[in-house]
Structure 1
Amino acid sequence: MDREEKYILRRQEIINSAIDEFGINSYVEASLNAICRNGNISKGTIYHYFKDKDDLYLVCVTECFNSLTNFLNSEKISFNKAEQAIEKYLDLRHQFFKENPKFSNIFTNALLRPPKHLLEQIKEIKTGLDKFNINFFEQVLRNTNLKSDVSHEEAIEYFLIFQESFNYYFQNKAYGDFRNLFEEHELKLRKLLKIMLYGMVKEETE
């Protein structure tokens, strides 16, 4: 194993230990000491690979969002029926977080309880997932008949407003257990996406 391979391996070991820590604690509650202790890593080693706690946290958030986005992109979703497409999308999210439980806490904290001084960096990190979600909704719309007073552009705008408002609602809820927050977020998302969709598509009699 050459020096570069050792560097990559050691760096990933630190990231894995950090994911374990951020996977059960919020950014504020998590500590470099715990990451060192649980991963049998010296603090000096962490600072050799990462600038500080913020740097390491953002790497974990990036791995979480990129892994989710790559997983969603790797799966086939049929858009023949809008409701089934939404169900498939949400089922895939559920599958991903079931297989990667530590990421559910990182995702929830980054999306709904982000450290204020890292808001811009997290916004940039989630760009890939945001683009996937917009593209997904656009494909759903292509297979629906919108109401006569709703244009395609307006429907996309409503989706973006819904997304921001939905997350803002959860950002302002007081929770001690982030797993409960994550589960409620995903459950309500499933219901409200359908409500929003059927508020814009034509009824059979229209």
Structure 2
Amino acid sequence: MKEKSFIRKKELVKAALDEFTTNDYKNASLNSIIKNAGISKGTFYYHFQDKQSLYLFLLDTANKMKWEFMNSHIKEMSVDFNQKDIFEGFKIQAQIGIEFATLFPEYHQLSMMFAKERGNQIYENTMTILSVNTEDMMNEMVKKAIKRGDFNEKFSKDFIVRIMTFLFMGFHEIFGNKEDFELENMAKNLNNYVNFMKYGLGK
């Protein structure tokens, strides 16, 4: 999005969030978004190239907000992740993530809808354009965890990275029922999920 702001930006963001959190990407209507935001098509296309650029803007905003929220809370908690195993670190991050979801439900729901796009072209486009590489991120975390002795030594680093990346990427495929998206159930499922990883891979 161009740096120059416009009067009804908040209305556009709200209308877009409403549309993308109630419809998958393919069925989300750009015309409905523009109409509900109360702006002209000319205004929209001055700031965004198309529906995909708006979608990417929202996902990028949600991701940045979540990580800023998470990093701020971790500092307030004075958590030293070097003193905790990787699994306890995951639990702390998951709990903070749930707090974020409580405060910003529209961005949380957007992320949940995006997770369901896996296997579609928009998912691949988003991961490429926003430079999100879960396996690279997991690789760095696992390297540090191995040095701490968090994992059973019989498993290679490559095996651990592949398995844990798969598990994290597949969370919403396993817990994809409507009731699973309730925050209380999500907290329980995330905790059990991490325990599963720990006692399946940990010492």
Any unmatched runs of 5+ in structure 2?
A: none
Letter in 1 for 2:62: C
Shift of 1:88: 0.9
Distance in 1 between the 2:160 and 2:170 partners? Answer: 15
Q: 1:148 aligns with which of 149, 153, 163?
A: 153
What code does the residue aligned with 1:149 have? K
CA distance, structure 2, for counterparts of residue 59 and residue 50 of structure 1: 9
2:19·2:33 contact (CA, 8 Å) conserved in 1? Answer: yes
Structure 2 match to 1:111: 115
Question: Could you say which residue in structure 1 is the equivalent of 2:80?
Answer: 78
Q: Choose which of 2, 5, 15 in structure 2 pairs with 1:8.
A: 5
| Residues 85 and 140, structure 1, Cα contact 8 Å, conserved in 2 | no
Match of 2:97 in 1: 93
Could you list the per-position Cα deviations for residues 3-28 of structure 1 after superposition, in whole angstroms to 9, with x for gaps in the alignment? x97x3244843334322432344324
Q: Could you tell me whether the CA contact under 8 Å between 1:138 and 1:156 is conserved in 2?
A: no
Change (3 A) 1:28 1:120: closer
Q: Which amino acid aligns with 1:55?
A: S
Describe the SS at the equivalent of 1:87: helix
Report the residue type matching 1:88 in the other structure.
Answer: I
CA contact (8 A) 1:26 1:109 kept: yes
CA RMSD of aligned residues (A): 3.2
Give distance in 1, aligned partners of 2:113 and 2:50.
19
1:58 touches 1:122 (CA, 8 Å); kept in 2? yes
Change (3 A) 1:129 1:159: closer
Which residue number corresponds to residue 189 of structure 1?
A: 190
User: How far apart are residue 134 of structure 1 and its match?
Assistant: 5.1
User: 1:7-86 to 2 correspondence within 5 Å?
Assistant: 7-10=4-7, 12-13=9-10, 14-74=12-72, 75-76=74-75, 77-79=79-81, 80-82=83-85, 83-86=87-90
- Tell me the amino acid that sits aligned with residue 41 of structure 2: K
Distance 1:39 1:129 in 2: 34
Cα pair 2:135 2:161 within 8 Å, conserved: no
Aligned residues: 192
What is the alpha-carbon distance in structure 2 between the residues aligned to residue 71 and residue 185 of structure 1? 19
- Residue type of the partner of 1:100? F
Using the size of structure 2 for normalisation, the TM-score is 0.73
Give yes or no for contact 1:111–1:167 (8 Å, CA) kept in 2. yes
Which sections of structure 1, spanning at least 5 residues, go unmatched?
A: none
Cα pair 2:21 2:110 within 8 Å, conserved: yes
Q: Which residue of 2 aligns with 1:121?
A: 125
TM-score, length of structure 1 as denominator length: 0.72
Runs of at least 4 residues off by over 6 Å: none
